């Protein structure tokens, strides 16, 4: 993974000192809260319902063991002993004290981390495939390009006051685990006519109040042109994006209102003017960054691991964990092991400091010290020898980290909701925990199979409800928490937005309704059909009829 050089270090350290001065001015009363607000937001510090919240960037979801230990240390020393992994592969601390936030940032800088641009109307942390560097069928490790984008976008003078926030996602293979089609810009690595690697560029996707699937603005972009093309898109958006209404300010609306053809013309015109400028990436720099992402020293192993097969036969819990949480690695004899942060009855994505320390140790023992955060709020050990899976599983189980439910119904994506967030209309965490309690039986989860439930506590859609197979949206109805259900969303390479089923439900009813929907699916599914396949085959009607009791 990437390691800072002297320039990267200097920038982050200077930034910490700058923020320390700003906080001191705020505490001394030289800055009003109104003046301080944009400054703290540029360092990821929000003011929530009950306290400040600090959002730490985990660039493209990759971190190493020392970084994870530092996150654990901060959780213990400066917070209440836990942290929350988010759908943008970041980490949030829910209870930091304002006066201590510069110290937290200084601690982070020691391990090459920061909170720059995790908030505000700027280019946010670039997200990527959590299996990057381990996935089968990858054209190149997309994190090379994420890191290049991270540096280019950091304190970008022209794009720090955009009409609205701006999110870029990059994937290196056809299986899209980074939801690139619902980002402001999505980059899919592909090969050009001469076999050279480059990008398909997608623009104008997004969730929130008005959800759009992104559109292809360029079929193929050469690698060295990445930054000039991004700059052309951002410049066009910065000038054209609406600033009269924050709900219409994202690039998805700009693209929709301008039309993709016209928008493309404007971008291409801009691009021609800057294509051959100093934004063109020198090969030496691409190579320098790529070197940081060279594969670890994999051993030559047999694909078969008889001990693992034997353990799977004798231990159904282990078998379920291997089956659901482990994914084929590109190297023979290795597996990608997902660590579920979705135990029954717990807030999705939360991890205690002790768990973080444990995972850091396990990463060193089993996965070359490398870790990933997924957009579904789980963790990943990307490079585990298949023969080591039983040992890993046993150690995970000791820390309540062995829930065998990745990709299953209880692997719920959920925003912080009204328990923490100042924007929320309704709580989302209690709905998630109650659903996991209702579906606590592993046998039942296995029988239901792949199912994605996604819950947002307001229309801003941090819980990605639009792209859940079952999406749940919290709304405020006359002062009461109320929940709308959507069906048929999909965040994969077959991206689709869910459709609202009908009138919403109270907090008391909503878990029963989810159960009813699941039961209908089980009744009508054909052999081997996932929920989303059944839904695509039969549409909304059967669900609607049973849920609302109407014809």
Partner 1 sequence: MALLERQGESAATIEDRFTRVDDESALPASGGILVSLPRFQADREALLAREGELGVWLASNESPRDFEKADLGKFALVALDFPTFADGRGYSSARILKERFQFKGEIRAVGDVLLEQLPFMLRSGFTTFETEESGFLEGFKAVVSEVRVVYQPTGDGRATAIDQRLSRG
Out of 109, 115, 146, 162, the only residue in the binding site for partner 1 (CB under 8 A) is 162
By the rule CB under 8 A, 121 interacts with partner 1: yes
By the rule CB under 8 A, 27 interacts with partner 1: no
* Minimum CB distance to partner 1, residue 266 (Å): 11
* Minimum CB distance to partner 1, residue 258 (Å): 15
By the rule CB under 8 A, 422 interacts with partner 1: no
By the rule CB under 8 A, 151 interacts with partner 1: yes
Torsion of CA 404, 410, 411, 414, to 10 degrees: -150
The continuous run of DSSP H or E covering 548 comes out as helix 541-548
* Minimum CB distance to partner 1, residue 277 (Å): 7
By the rule CB under 8 A, 440 interacts with partner 1: no
By the rule CB under 8 A, 152 interacts with partner 1: yes
By the rule CB under 8 A, 245 interacts with partner 1: no
By the rule CB under 8 A, 5 interacts with partner 1: yes
* Minimum CB distance to partner 1, residue 343 (Å): 40
Contact indicator for 52, 45 with CB cutoff of 8 Å: yes
CA end-to-end distance (rounded Å), the chain: 56
- At residue 496, the 3 state secondary structure works out as strand
Task: Give strand pairing partners of 110.
Answer: none
By the rule CB under 8 A, 500 interacts with partner 1: no
Count of Cβ atoms closer than 10 Å to residue 190 Cβ:
16
Contact indicator for 189, 173 with CB cutoff of 8 Å: yes
* Minimum CB distance to partner 1, residue 390 (Å): 45
DSSP 216-259: EEEEEEEGGGHHHHHHHHHHHHHHHS--S-GGG-SHHHHHHHH-
By the rule CB under 8 A, 157 interacts with partner 1: yes
Nearer to partner 1, 50 or 288 (CB): 288
Binding mask 370-409 for partner 1 (x = CB under 8 A): ----------------------------------------
Task: Give strand pairing partners of 215.
Answer: 203
* Minimum CB distance to partner 1, residue 129 (Å): 24
Out of 99, 158, 476, 519, the only residue in the binding site for partner 1 (CB under 8 A) is 158
Q: Which stretch binds partner 1 (CB under 8 A): 74-82, 101-109, 151-159, 381-389?
A: 151-159
Reading the block at residue 256, the tokens are 């929709």
Binding mask 531-550 for partner 1 (x = CB under 8 A): --------------------
Quote the CA–CA distance of 141 and 148 in Å, as a whole number: 12
By the rule CB under 8 A, 32 interacts with partner 1: no
Q: Which stretch binds partner 1 (CB under 8 A): 6-14, 186-194, 315-323, 478-486?
A: 6-14
Nearer to partner 1, 235 or 329 (CB): 235
CA distances in angstroms from 490 to 181, 189, 466, listed in the order given: 11, 21, 8
Q: Which stretch binds partner 1 (CB under 8 A): 150-158, 309-317, 341-349, 426-434?
A: 150-158
Binding mask 206-235 for partner 1 (x = CB under 8 A): -----------------------------x
Nearer to partner 1, 151 or 442 (CB): 151
By the rule CB under 8 A, 238 interacts with partner 1: yes
Backbone angles phi, psi at 454, to 5 degrees: -130, 130
* Minimum CB distance to partner 1, residue 398 (Å): 43
Count of Cβ atoms closer than 10 Å to residue 465 Cβ:
32
Which residues are CB-neighbours of 549 under 8 A, at least 6 positions away? none
CA distances in angstroms from 526 to 261, 443, 518, 538, 543, listed in the order given: 42, 19, 14, 11, 16
R_g of the chain computed on alpha carbons: 23
* Minimum CB distance to partner 1, residue 151 (Å): 5
Torsion of CA 216, 219, 221, 227, to 10 degrees: -10
Quote the CA–CA distance of 177 and 189 in Å, as a whole number: 13
Q: Which stretch binds partner 1 (CB under 8 A): 148-156, 382-390, 417-425, 493-501?
A: 148-156
Out of 154, 376, 378, 436, the only residue in the binding site for partner 1 (CB under 8 A) is 154
Backbone angles phi, psi at 185, to 5 degrees: -130, 130
Contact indicator for 486, 501 with CB cutoff of 8 Å: yes
State the Cα angle at 513 between 511 and 514, rounded to 5°: 65
* Minimum CB distance to partner 1, residue 394 (Å): 45
By the rule CB under 8 A, 466 interacts with partner 1: no
Nearer to partner 1, 127 or 236 (CB): 236
Out of 97, 136, 161, 394, the only residue in the binding site for partner 1 (CB under 8 A) is 161
Binding mask 269-288 for partner 1 (x = CB under 8 A): ----x---xxx--x-xx--x
Which residues are CB-neighbours of 288 under 8 A, at least 6 positions away? none
DSSP 508-545: HHHHHHHHHHHHHHHHHPPTT--HHHHHHHH-SHHHHH
DSSP 319-356: HHHHHHHEEE-SSTTEEEEEE----TTS-TTEEEHHHH
Out of 47, 111, 155, 319, the only residue in the binding site for partner 1 (CB under 8 A) is 155
Out of 7, 261, 300, 314, the only residue in the binding site for partner 1 (CB under 8 A) is 7
* Minimum CB distance to partner 1, residue 21 (Å): 8
Interface residues with partner 1 (CB under 8 A)? 5, 7-8, 10-11, 14-15, 17-18, 22, 35, 38-39, 121, 151-152, 154-162, 235, 238-239, 243, 273, 277-279, 282, 284-285, 288
């Amino acid at each position: 993974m990437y390691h800072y050089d002297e320039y990267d270090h200097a920038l982050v350290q200077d930034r910490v000192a700058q923020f320390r001065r700003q906080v001191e001015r705020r505490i001394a009363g030289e800055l009003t809260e109104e003046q301080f607000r944009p400054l703290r937001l540029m360092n990821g510090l929000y003011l929530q319902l009950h306290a400040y919240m600090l959002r730490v960037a985990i660039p493209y979801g990759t971190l190493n063991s020392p970084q994870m230990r530092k996150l654990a240390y901060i959780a213990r020393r400066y917070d209440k002993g836990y942290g929350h992994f988010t759908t943008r592969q970041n980490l949030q601390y829910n209870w930091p004290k304002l006066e201590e936030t510069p110290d937290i940032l200084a601690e982070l800088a020691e391990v090459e981390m920061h909170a720059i641009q995790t908030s505000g109307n700027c280019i946010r942390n670039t997200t990527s495939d959590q299996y990057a560097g381990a996935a089968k069928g990858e054209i190149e490790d997309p994190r090379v390009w994420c890191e290049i984008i991270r540096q280019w976008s950091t304190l970008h003078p022209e794009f720090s006051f955009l009409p609205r926030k701006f999110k870029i996602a990059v994937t290196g293979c056809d299986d899209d685990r980074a939801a690139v089609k619902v980002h402001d810009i999505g980059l899919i690595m592909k090969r050009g006519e001469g076999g050279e690697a480059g990008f398909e560029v997608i623009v104008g996707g997004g969730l929130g109040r008005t959800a759009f699937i992104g559109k292809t603005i360029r079929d193929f972009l050469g690698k060295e042109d990445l930054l000039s093309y991004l700059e052309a898109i951002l410049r066009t958006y910065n000038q054209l994006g609406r600033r009269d209404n924050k709900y219409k300010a994202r690039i998805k609306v700009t693209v929709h209102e301008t039309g993709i053809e016209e928008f493309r013309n404007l971008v291409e015109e801009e691009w021609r003017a800057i294509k051959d400028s100093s934004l063109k990436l020198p090969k030496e720099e691409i190579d320098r960054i790529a070197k940081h992402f060279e594969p670890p020293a994999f051993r030559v192993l047999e694909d078969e691991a008889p001990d693992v097969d034997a353990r799977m036969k004798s231990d159904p819990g282990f078998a379920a964990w291997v089956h659901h949480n482990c994914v084929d690695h590109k190297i023979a004899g290795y597996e990608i092991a997902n660590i579920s942060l979705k135990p029954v009855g717990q807030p999705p994505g939360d991890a205690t400091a002790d768990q973080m320390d444990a995972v850091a140790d396990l990463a060193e023992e089993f996965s070359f010290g490398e870790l990933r955060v997924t957009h579904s709020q789980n963790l990943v050990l990307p490079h585990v020898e298949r023969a080591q899976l039983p040992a890993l599983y046993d150690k995970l189980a000791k820390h309540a980290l062995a829930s065998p439910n990745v990709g299953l119904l209880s692997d719920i994506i959920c925003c912080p909701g009204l328990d923490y967030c100042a924007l929320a209309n309704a709580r989302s965490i209690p709905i998630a925990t109650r659903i996991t309690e209702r579906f606590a039986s592993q046998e039942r989860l296995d029988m239901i199979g792949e199912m994605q439930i996604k819950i947002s506590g307001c229309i801003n859609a941090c819980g990605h409800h639009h792209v859940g197979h079952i999406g749940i949206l919290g709304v405020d109805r006359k002062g009461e928490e109320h929940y709308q259900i959507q069906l048929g969303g999909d965040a994969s390479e077959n991206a689709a937005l869910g459709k609202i089923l009908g009138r919403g439900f109270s907090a008391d009813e909503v878990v029963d309704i989810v159960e009813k929907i699941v039961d209908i699916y089980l009744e009508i599914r054909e052999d081997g059909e996932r929920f989303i396949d059944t839904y695509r085959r039969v549409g909304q009607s059967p669900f609607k009829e049973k849920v609302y009791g109407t014809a």
